[in-house]
């Protein structure tokens, strides 16, 4: 076992109580590290609790949140830390916003000891690149140690099932060769570092779904970890005591006791911390505006109005405050219907189609075997009459009929057709959360087989029934969408109206409305039909300790249905597969507050918009990475009609086998198309820039020559590389934007018309062309080939500002910072130099001089410093 960063080793012969366990620790110091000097102790407020976390020890510090988050004692002593040892576990977190553990800029530590830093705790990208390339730059570095001793175990062997992070892999091999390295247990991550192979494996504590101690072996104590992102790893730890301590710590860190212990309440990204104004804290939280979204559907109208009956969640605490109901529904009808529906979730509007057919949602009625409610019957009748084009409406119960009949014995059930007039009923047969949880568990077991044969693999996938369940969800959404497209209003419900109902309603709207297939529209859809209408994300994702039977992959199943539609209609969705994967991972990460809480009321009580960062604000900076290059907004079909044949559904290898080696294409087609599209945009922008410059030069020359003959002669003699030589009324050069005249040695005094310069085909000799009118030219010295070349240098520099040829993605296996590329990572081009970099090395945007009408383009750090003419990427 090793020791954490900045911790003093116990003196020789010290008592065992002075040594730190996983949850114990001595006081650590923090300060600016300059070469071999000792670290200067600062206020404990700035002790970091993990990557990107808010400073600990201050007002928001918690003593009982996790063992590794203990506040440091005020009796800290300055310690000397070897720089290489201090940075050994640093790396890049694949989830982008996480800062590199333990690195701060010196300016981030300014401000009041009891206030937040003025800048983000996220480390400088330049310094991160140097750290990863082992070309360390010590100036202005601040090394921040954890508030207690982190766990560091050496000699650990990692065994992964086809992991992309393993040191060696072969195509088709089921099990990779184990790699040896160091295992670090930090406040937020479990990090395995294989220095020899330059490989790192980062496991977020919140992504861990199960931790299991396997029987002892001759090599050590195996610790098997399964993640909610479908990563399965086994760490063989030499000592059983170390294995047990890490096992105990992971059980506590992977599932906090309360919501306040989640990482989102301590995470601060660069946007929210760069400024203390409240406007930065609400970024992303105002994405979904109820009034604007329903106004897009032309609601309110004569048939639909906003009700104020649930302003304080007094009728239904799992519904949002703003609810739209039929205009003819009175207050008594609304209250009576809510009392007759499970959890008070009465029928409300969630989508209004252009043909005035409405999509409404609710929960099951408390009908039992013979109970009825006149107010509920009147509510459904009001929904039917709101659509004047149809004589009936459809009620879709997403449960299997046998399940709905069984619920009658508990006083619930489904609508009695004898009591509801002009209504058609359908059962779509989507199984409950327990069946879905068991089905996914079987699929995961199949994916993690050590040496699967083809028959075992196919039988395992078929036996799990997962694809059948995905098909039933899609079938339910298609049924609702077809009914609405035909002009019939639909009411959807399941048991409580927050699982299968959310899946069906959201899929139906994606099929009907192209807006929900865009990046912004999809986010609005998730906010409206999942978050606002009370899908139990906290319970279904298992974010905190609770009943295991409440955990179920409902949202994962919905994302797979969207992915299936993407495969059938590749040009109909603005976002790509990687966008769905990021969304899936952050549902479980608890890094952002977006998916914390079970309903809108929970999020308001927790004040998430004030205390946490929104996921949408992070995704707003990743648009280029998540854009589908095949998306065509001009030829989108209005209504998607996917095939529900069994052979039309595919196995989502990118999600369930994401960490396998040898099963993914060498270069994803989406990435190749995106790179080609970006390259084309860059070339088109440069061509537009040069065309505009040439056009401007031509216009300046035409202004001095009014006769057509002169213009024709100018066009013949004009070289596109020449600059404007417009003269003022005194014969002086008004401007010399590219410095052509000065480089040619021409004097600034001459008369007549603008000078035209011709270049020979070999572009080495330059001569003064005859002008349409007499021109007096004087040169201070004879022209030389060097001067001729310099006359074109200014324009050449404009051309060289943008890379013409980009490096091919196929031959690049690792970034310049030594980070290897795999199937799960994205390769990025620098638009200035054309080289390939990883995500963290190209996190800067700059406006290139040779581009026209393009937003700031991604550039690497050296190019960014060249453009901004600064010594640091942080200072323009």
Binding residues for substrate: 432-433, 494-500
Residue 293: closest CA among 328, 327, 324, 334: 324
From the CA atom positions of the chain, what is the Rg in Å? Answer: 33
- In whole angstroms, give the CA distance from residue 60 to residue 44: 13
**d(C-alpha 340, C-alpha 368), whole Å:** 11
Q: What angle do CA 128, 132, 135 make, to 5 degrees?
A: 95
> How many Cβ atoms are within 10 Å of 314's Cβ, its own excluded?
11
Helix (H, G, I), strand (E, B) or coil at 100: coil
Q: 593: closest CA among 269, 864, 356, 815?
A: 269
Who contacts 873 (Cβ-Cβ below 8 Å, separation ≥6)? 124, 125, 126, 844, 861, 864, 865
520 half-sphere exposure, CB direction, 13 A CA radius: 7
The two tokens of residue 814 are 């690792």
**173 backbone dihedrals φ, ψ, rounded to 5°:** -75, 135
**CA 711 to centroid of chain Cα atoms:** 55
Cα(404)–Cα(335) distance, rounded to whole angstroms? 24
Whether 817 is a known active-site residue: answer no
- How many CB atoms within 10 Å of residue 2? 14
Place of tokens 């890379």: 803
Question: Which residue of the set 227, 494, 599, 815 is catalytic?
Answer: 494
Q: What is the separation of C-alpha 873 from the centre of its chain, rounded to a whole number of angstroms?
A: 23
Q: Omega of the bond prior to 422 within 30 degrees of 0, cis?
A: no
Rounded alpha-carbon distances, angstroms, from residue 374 to 340, 431, 784: 10, 30, 99
Q: Which residues contact 857 (CB under 8 A, 6 or more apart)?
A: 682, 831, 832, 845, 846, 847, 848, 851
Q: Computed from CA positions of residues 99, 104, 108, 109, in that sequence, does the dihedral angle turn out positive or negative?
A: positive
User: What's the rounded Cα separation, in Å, for the pair 592 and 521?
Assistant: 20
Indicate the length of the chain as a whole number.
876
DSSP 8-state symbol, 804: S
Element (H, E) at 225: strand 221-227
Sheet of strand 141-144: strand arrangement? 30-33, 141-144, 103-105
Would you tell me how many other CB atoms lie within 10 Å of the CB of residue 666?
A: 7
Structure tokens at 596: 């914390």
Distance between CA 558 and CA 506 in Å, rounded?
Answer: 9
Residue positions forming the annotated binding site: 432-433, 494-500
- Indicate which residues carry an active-site annotation: 494
């Amino acid at each position: 076992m090793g020791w954490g960063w900045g911790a003093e080793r116990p003196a020789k012969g010290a008592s065992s109580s002075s040594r730190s366990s996983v949850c114990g620790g001595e006081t650590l110091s923090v300060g600016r590290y300059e070469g071999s000097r000792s670290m200067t102790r600062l206020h404990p407020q700035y002790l970091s609790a993990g990557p990107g976390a808010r400073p600990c020890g201050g007002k928001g510090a918690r003593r009982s949140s996790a063992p590794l988050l203990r506040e440091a004692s005020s009796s800290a002593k300055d310690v000397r830390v070897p720089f290489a040892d201090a940075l050994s576990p640093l790396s890049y977190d694949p989830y982008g916003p996480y800062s590199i553990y333990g690195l701060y800029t010196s300016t981030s530590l300014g401000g009041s000891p009891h206030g937040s830093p003025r800048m983000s705790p996220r480390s400088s990208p330049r310094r991160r690149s140097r750290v990863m390339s082992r070309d360390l730059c010590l100036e202005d570095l601040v090394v921040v140690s954890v508030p207690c001793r982190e766990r560091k175990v050496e000699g650990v062997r990692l065994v992964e099932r086809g992991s992309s992070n393993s040191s060696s892999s072969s195509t088709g091999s089921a099990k990779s060769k184990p790699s040896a390295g160091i295992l670090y247990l930090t406040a937020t991550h479990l990090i395995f570092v294989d220095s020899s192979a330059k490989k790192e494996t980062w496991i977020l504590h919140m992504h861990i779904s199960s931790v299991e101690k396997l029987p002892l072996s001759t090599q050590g104590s195996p610790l098997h970890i399964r993640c909610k992102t479908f990563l399965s790893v086994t760490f063989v730890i030499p000592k059983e005591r170390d294995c047990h301590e890490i096992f105990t710590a992971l059980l506590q860190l992977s599932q906090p006791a309360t919501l306040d212990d989640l990482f989102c309440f301590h995470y601060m990204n660069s946007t929210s911390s760069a400024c203390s104004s409240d406007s930065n804290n609400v970024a992303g939280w105002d994405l979904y505006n109820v009034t604007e979204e329903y106004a897009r559907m032309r609601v309110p109208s004569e048939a639909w109005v906003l009700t104020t009956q649930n302003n304080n969640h007094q009728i239904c605490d799992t519904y949002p405050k703003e609810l739209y109901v039929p205009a003819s529904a009175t207050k008594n009808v609304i209250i009576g219907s809510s009392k007759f529906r499970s959890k008070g979730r009465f029928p409300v509007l969630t989508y209004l189609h252009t043909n005035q057919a409405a999509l409404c949602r609710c929960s099951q009625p408390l009908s039992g075997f013979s109970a009825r409610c006149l107010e509920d019957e009147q509510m459904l009748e009001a929904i039917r009459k709101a659509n004047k084009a149809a004589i009936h409406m459809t009620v879709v119960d997403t449960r299997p009929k046998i399940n709905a009949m069984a619920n009658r014995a508990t006083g619930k059930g489904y609508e009695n057709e004898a009591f509801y007039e002009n209504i058609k009923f359908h059962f779509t047969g989507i199984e409950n959360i327990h069946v879905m949880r068991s089905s996914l568990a079987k699929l995961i077991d199949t994916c993690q087989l050590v040496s699967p044969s083809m028959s075992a693999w196919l039988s395992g996938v078929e036996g799990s029934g997962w694809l059948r369940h995905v098909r039933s969800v899609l079938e339910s959404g298609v049924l609702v969408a077809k009914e609405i497209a035909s002009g019939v209003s639909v009411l959807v419900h399941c048991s409580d109206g927050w699982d299968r109902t959310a899946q069906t309603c959201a899929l139906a709207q994606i099929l009907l409305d192209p807006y929900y297939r865009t990046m912004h529209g999809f986010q609005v859809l998730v906010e409206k039909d999942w978050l606002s209408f009370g899908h139990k994300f906290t319970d279904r994702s298992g974010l905190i300790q609770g009943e295991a039977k409440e955990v179920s992959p409902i949202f994962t199943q919905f994302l797979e249905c969207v992915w299936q539609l993407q495969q059938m209609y590749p040009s109909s969705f603005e976002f790509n597969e990687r966008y769905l994967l990021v969304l899936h991972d952050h549902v479980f990460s608890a890094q952002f507050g977006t998916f914390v809480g079970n309903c809108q009321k929970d999020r308001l009580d927790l004040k998430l918009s004030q205390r946490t960062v929104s996921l949408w604000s992070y995704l707003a900076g990743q648009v280029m990475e998540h854009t589908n290059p095949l998306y065509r907004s001009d030829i989108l079909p209005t209504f998607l009609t996917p095939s529900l044949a069994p052979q039309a559904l595919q196995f989502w290898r990118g999600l369930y086998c994401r960490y396998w080696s040898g099963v993914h294409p060498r270069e994803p087609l989406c990435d190749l198309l995106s790179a080609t599209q970006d390259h084309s945009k860059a070339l088109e922008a440069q061509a537009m820039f040069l065309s505009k410059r040439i056009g401007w030069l031509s216009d300046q020359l035409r202004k001095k020559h009014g006769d057509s003959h002169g213009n024709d002669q100018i066009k013949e003699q004009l070289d596109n590389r020449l600059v404007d030589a417009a003269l003022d009324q005194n014969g002086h050069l008004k401007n010399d934007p590219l410095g052509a005249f000065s480089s040619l040695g021409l004097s600034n005094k001459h008369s007549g018309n603008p000078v035209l310069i011709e270049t020979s085909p070999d572009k080495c000799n330059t001569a003064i062309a005859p002008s349409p009118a007499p021109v007096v030219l004087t040169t201070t010295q004879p022209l030389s080939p060097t001067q001729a070349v310099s006359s074109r240098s200014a324009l050449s520099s404009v051309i060289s500002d943008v890379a013409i040829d980009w490096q091919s993605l196929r031959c690049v296996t690792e970034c310049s910072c030594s980070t290897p590329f795999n199937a799960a990572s994205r390769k990025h081009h620098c638009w200035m130099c054309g080289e390939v970099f990883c995500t963290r090395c190209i996190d800067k945007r700059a406006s290139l001089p040779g581009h026209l009408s393009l937003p700031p383009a991604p550039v690497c750090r050296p190019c960014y410093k060249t453009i901004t003419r600064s010594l640091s990427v942080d200072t323009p």
